[in-house]
């Protein structure tokens, strides 16, 4: 069972970069989820799926995985661009596409 080490993307609903600076180690699920016949809940017997570890640097996350013998895979960092817009730009005369209701 391998683990993924990645830096999560910022929340799409907010403009800040909160919770996107730390590196996260998450275990891949070993068994698929199944539906419990009595109550209909979705469950899994894999307890490692509940673990989500955060680290300040990539080196700390890799050192933890090596120390505990966890095979890991590092996903590339997701770069994002901030698109600055102004509310008044919606009503500009020289818009490329016409603005209508």
Residue 48 lies in a domain: yes
Q: Domain for residue 44, yes or no?
A: yes
Give yes or no for residue 81 having a pLDDT over 80: no
84 in a domain, yes or no? Answer: no
Question: Across the chain, what does the average pLDDT equal?
Answer: 84
Examine residue 96 and state whether it is found in any structural domain, yes or no: no
Question: 70 lies in which domain range?
Answer: 3-76
pLDDT at 72: 96
Q: What CATH number does the domain containing 15 carry?
A: 3.30.160.190
- Digit-coded pLDDT (tens) for 4-32: 999 988 766 766 666 678 899 999 988 88
Q: How far is the CA of 80 from the CAs of 11, 12, 18, 30, 77, in angstroms? A: 11, 11, 14, 31, 10
Question: What is the DSSP-derived secondary structure letter of residue 22?
Answer: S
Query: Tell me, what's the pLDDT at 100?
Result: 65
How high is the pLDDT of residue 86?
80
- Total count of domains within the chain: 1
72 domain-assigned = yes
């Amino acid at each position: 069972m391998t683990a993924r080490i990645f830096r999560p993307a910022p929340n799409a609903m907010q403009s800040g970069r909160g919770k996107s600076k730390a590196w996260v180690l998450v275990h891949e699920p070993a068994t698929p989820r199944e539906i419990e016949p009595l109550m209909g809940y979705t469950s899994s017997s894999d307890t490692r799926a509940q673990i989500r570890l955060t680290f300040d640097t990539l080196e700390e996350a890799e050192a933890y995985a090596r120390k505990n013998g966890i095979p890991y895979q590092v996903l590339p960092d997701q770069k994002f661009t901030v698109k600055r817009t102004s509310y008044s730009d919606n009503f500009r005369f020289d818009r490329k596409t016409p603005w209508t209701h």
